[in-house]
Structure 1
Amino acid sequence: MSRIEWTRVSADDIEEAVSMFICRIYPRAFRVRASSGDGGIDVCVPASKEHFDVYQVKKFAQNLTSKQKKQAEKSHARIARYAADRGWTIDNWYLTMPLDPTKENLIWLDELAKSKSFPCEWRGLSHVDGWAAKFPEVVDYYFDKGRAILNEELARFTAVSGLQITSDSLVNAGNFSSLEPSNVINGITQLRESLNKRDPHYCYDFAVSGAPPAANEPVAVPGTLAARSVRQIGESYVTFDVHARCAESLNERPITAQMKLRAKAGTAEARDLEEFAKFGRAPRVPIAVSDMAVDMPGGLGMESSAGLVRILEPDLEQSSFERRLDILSPAREVLSSINLKMYPPMQSADGKGASNRGVDKSGVFEIETLTILGPPIQMQLRFTRGDIQGKYPDEVEPALSMFDYFRPGNKFRMSRVRGSKDVDMLDIPPDLLSKEDAAHNAVLLRYVRALTVIQEHTDVEIRIPKYETLEELHIPETLQAAQLLEGEVLQGRWQSSTVVLPADAPDPEESGPVVGAEPLVLDVGGSQVDLGMRRIVLESAKAARTEIDSDGDKVVTFEPASENDIVRVDWLDPAGIESSDAPIE
Structure 2
Amino acid sequence: MVTINWERESGDRIEEFVAAALVMRHGAGCRVTPSRGDGGMDVKLPLANGRWWVVQVKRYSGPLTSRQETSIEKSYGALLAEIARTGLEVERWTLATPWDPTRERLGWLEGFDRSPDGLPATLDWMGRVSLDGLAADCPQLVDYYFGDGAERLTSLMALALKSSITLSGSGPEQLLEAAMERMNDLAKAMEEIDPFYRYEISAIDAIPDHSKLAEHGEGAAMVRFGTGPDGRAVRLRIVPMSDLSAHFRPIRHKVRLHAAPGSGEEAALRDFAATGKPFANVRAEVVKSVGPPGATLGGQSLLSLYVEEHDHLPPMELVLLDDDEVEVAALKLEQARGNLSPAGNGFWMATSDIAGAVDVELKHPGEAREITLGVTFNRPADVPVASLVPVVKFANALAEGGWLLIRAVAGRPLVGPFGRVCLDPSTAKFWEFADLYVRLQAHTFDVVRLPDLSTVSPDDLVRLQFTVRALDGDAPEGIWATQVMQANGIDWPAGDFEGRLLREITMPLAGVDVALHKMLQQRFHSCRVDPNAVLPAGATVCLVPGESNTMSMHALNFEDGMEDGLWTIESE
TM-score by length of 2: 0.78
Alpha-carbon displacement from aligned partner over 1:186-205 (angstroms, at most 9, x marks no partner): 32321221333312333322
Is 388-397 or 271-280 further displaced after alignment?
388-397
> For residues 505 and 121 of structure 1, do their structure 2 counterparts lie closer, same or farther at Cα, with a shift above 3 Å needed?
farther
Among 553, 570, 574, which residue is 2:554 paired with? 570
Provide the rounded CA distance (Å) in 2 between the counterparts of 1:53 and 1:559: 92
Given the alignment of the two structures, is residue 429 of structure 1 paired with residue 413 of structure 2, yes or no? no
Given the alignment of the two structures, is residue 322 of structure 1 paired with residue 319 of structure 2, yes or no? no
Provide the rounded CA distance (Å) in 2 between the counterparts of 1:390 and 1:109: 71
- Pairwise mapping of residues 340-359 of structure 1 onto structure 2 (< 5 A)? 340-341=333-334, 346-359=339-352
- Pairwise mapping of residues 35-54 of structure 1 onto structure 2 (< 5 A)? 35-37=35-37, 42-43=42-43
Partner of 2:235: 239
Shift of 1:335: 0.8
Secondary structure of 2:450 counterpart: coil
Equivalent residues of 1:473, 1:524 under 8 A apart: no
Secondary structure of 2:234 counterpart: strand
Shift of 1:282: 1.6
Partner of 1:149: 152
Provide the rounded CA distance (Å) in 2 between the counterparts of 1:25 and 1:299: 26
Provide the rounded CA distance (Å) in 2 between the counterparts of 1:155 and 1:381: 46
Equivalent residues of 1:137, 1:197 under 8 A apart: yes
Equivalent residues of 2:470, 2:476 under 8 A apart: yes
Shift of 1:349: 1.6
> For residues 162 and 368 of structure 1, do their structure 2 counterparts lie closer, same or farther at Cα, with a shift above 3 Å needed?
closer
Provide the rounded CA distance (Å) in 2 between the counterparts of 1:560 and 1:327: 50
Partner of 1:396: 388
Equivalent residues of 1:29, 1:248 under 8 A apart: no
Secondary structure of 1:297 counterpart: coil
Provide the rounded CA distance (Å) in 1 between the counterparts of 2:558 and 2:384: 26
Provide the rounded CA distance (Å) in 1 between the counterparts of 2:369 and 2:217: 35
Equivalent residues of 2:310, 2:338 under 8 A apart: no
Secondary structure of 1:14 counterpart: helix
Partner of 1:312: 306
Shift of 1:17: 1.0
Alpha-carbon displacement from aligned partner over 1:417-444 (angstroms, at most 9, x marks no partner): 345x5x69955325x56xxx52233223
> For residues 79 and 139 of structure 1, do their structure 2 counterparts lie closer, same or farther at Cα, with a shift above 3 Å needed?
farther
Partner of 1:520: 505
Shift of 1:447: 2.9
Provide the rounded CA distance (Å) in 2 between the counterparts of 1:261 and 1:202: 32
Equivalent residues of 1:326, 1:414 under 8 A apart: yes
Equivalent residues of 2:441, 2:447 under 8 A apart: yes
Given the alignment of the two structures, is residue 33 of structure 1 paired with residue 33 of structure 2, yes or no? yes
Aligned length: 547
Shift of 1:325: 4.0
Given the alignment of the two structures, is residue 229 of structure 1 paired with residue 224 of structure 2, yes or no? yes
Secondary structure of 1:528 counterpart: coil
Alpha-carbon displacement from aligned partner over 1:16-66 (angstroms, at most 9, x marks no partner): 112222454477754331344457764456899xx7856434135668875
Given the alignment of the two structures, is residue 198 of structure 1 paired with residue 197 of structure 2, yes or no? no
Shift of 1:95: 3.4
Shift of 1:487: 0.4
Partner of 2:57: 58
Secondary structure of 2:305 counterpart: coil
Given the alignment of the two structures, is residue 491 of structure 1 paired with residue 472 of structure 2, yes or no? no
Secondary structure of 1:216 counterpart: helix
Partner of 2:16: 16
Secondary structure of 1:363 counterpart: coil
TM-score by length of 1: 0.76
Given the alignment of the two structures, is residue 447 of structure 1 paired with residue 433 of structure 2, yes or no? yes
Provide the rounded CA distance (Å) in 2 between the counterparts of 1:533 and 1:113: 86
> For residues 384 and 571 of structure 1, do their structure 2 counterparts lie closer, same or farther at Cα, with a shift above 3 Å needed?
same
Partner of 2:271: 275
* Structure 1: segments with no counterpart, 5+ residues: 165-170, 550-554
Aligned amino acid, residue 198 of structure 2: C
Shift of 1:548: 6.5
Provide the rounded CA distance (Å) in 1 between the counterparts of 2:147 and 2:192: 14
Equivalent residues of 1:474, 1:523 under 8 A apart: no
Provide the rounded CA distance (Å) in 1 between the counterparts of 2:324 and 2:349: 30
- Pairwise mapping of residues 168-179 of structure 1 onto structure 2 (< 5 A)? 179=174
- Pairwise mapping of residues 473-488 of structure 1 onto structure 2 (< 5 A)? 475-488=461-474
Is 238-247 or 255-264 further displaced after alignment?
255-264
Provide the rounded CA distance (Å) in 2 between the counterparts of 1:279 and 1:11: 41
Equivalent residues of 1:18, 1:57 under 8 A apart: no
Aligned amino acid, residue 142 of structure 2: V
Rg (Cα) greater in structure: 2
Equivalent residues of 1:336, 1:402 under 8 A apart: yes
> For residues 408 and 486 of structure 1, do their structure 2 counterparts lie closer, same or farther at Cα, with a shift above 3 Å needed?
closer
> For residues 12 and 429 of structure 1, do their structure 2 counterparts lie closer, same or farther at Cα, with a shift above 3 Å needed?
same
Aligned amino acid, residue 31 of structure 1: R
Alpha-carbon displacement from aligned partner over 1:277-321 (angstroms, at most 9, x marks no partner): 2111123xx32415557746325655565x5322011x3533221
Given the alignment of the two structures, is residue 289 of structure 1 paired with residue 290 of structure 2, yes or no? no
Shift of 1:345: 5.3
Secondary structure of 1:396 counterpart: helix
Alpha-carbon displacement from aligned partner over 1:55-98 (angstroms, at most 9, x marks no partner): 434135668875355244245346547866xxxx8686663636
Same amino acid, percent of matched pairs: 17
Shift of 1:340: 3.5
Provide the rounded CA distance (Å) in 2 between the counterparts of 1:425 and 1:12: 47
> For residues 457 and 4 of structure 1, do their structure 2 counterparts lie closer, same or farther at Cα, with a shift above 3 Å needed?
same
Partner of 1:132: 135
Aligned amino acid, residue 562 of structure 1: G
> For residues 46 and 150 of structure 1, do their structure 2 counterparts lie closer, same or farther at Cα, with a shift above 3 Å needed?
same
Equivalent residues of 2:222, 2:295 under 8 A apart: no
- Pairwise mapping of residues 398-413 of structure 1 onto structure 2 (< 5 A)? 398-403=390-395, 405=397, 410-413=402-405
Provide the rounded CA distance (Å) in 2 between the counterparts of 1:425 and 1:254: 34
Equivalent residues of 2:2, 2:139 under 8 A apart: no
Given the alignment of the two structures, is residue 261 of structure 1 paired with residue 264 of structure 2, yes or no? no
Aligned amino acid, residue 260 of structure 1: L
Provide the rounded CA distance (Å) in 1 between the counterparts of 2:485 and 2:91: 85
Equivalent residues of 1:325, 1:339 under 8 A apart: yes
Partner of 1:336: 329
> For residues 147 and 395 of structure 1, do their structure 2 counterparts lie closer, same or farther at Cα, with a shift above 3 Å needed?
same
Partner of 2:520: 534
Shift of 1:230: 1.8
Partner of 1:465: 451
Aligned amino acid, residue 559 of structure 1: L
Equivalent residues of 2:347, 2:363 under 8 A apart: yes
Provide the rounded CA distance (Å) in 1 between the counterparts of 2:506 and 2:112: 79
Provide the rounded CA distance (Å) in 2 between the counterparts of 1:54 and 1:346: 33
Equivalent residues of 2:373, 2:418 under 8 A apart: no
Provide the rounded CA distance (Å) in 2 between the counterparts of 1:487 and 1:395: 24
Shift of 1:15: 0.8
Provide the rounded CA distance (Å) in 2 between the counterparts of 1:68 and 1:250: 27
Aligned amino acid, residue 560 of structure 1: V
Shift of 1:458: 1.1
Partner of 1:168: none
> For residues 536 and 545 of structure 1, do their structure 2 counterparts lie closer, same or farther at Cα, with a shift above 3 Å needed?
farther
Shift of 1:14: 1.5
Aligned amino acid, residue 552 of structure 2: R
Shift of 1:260: 3.4
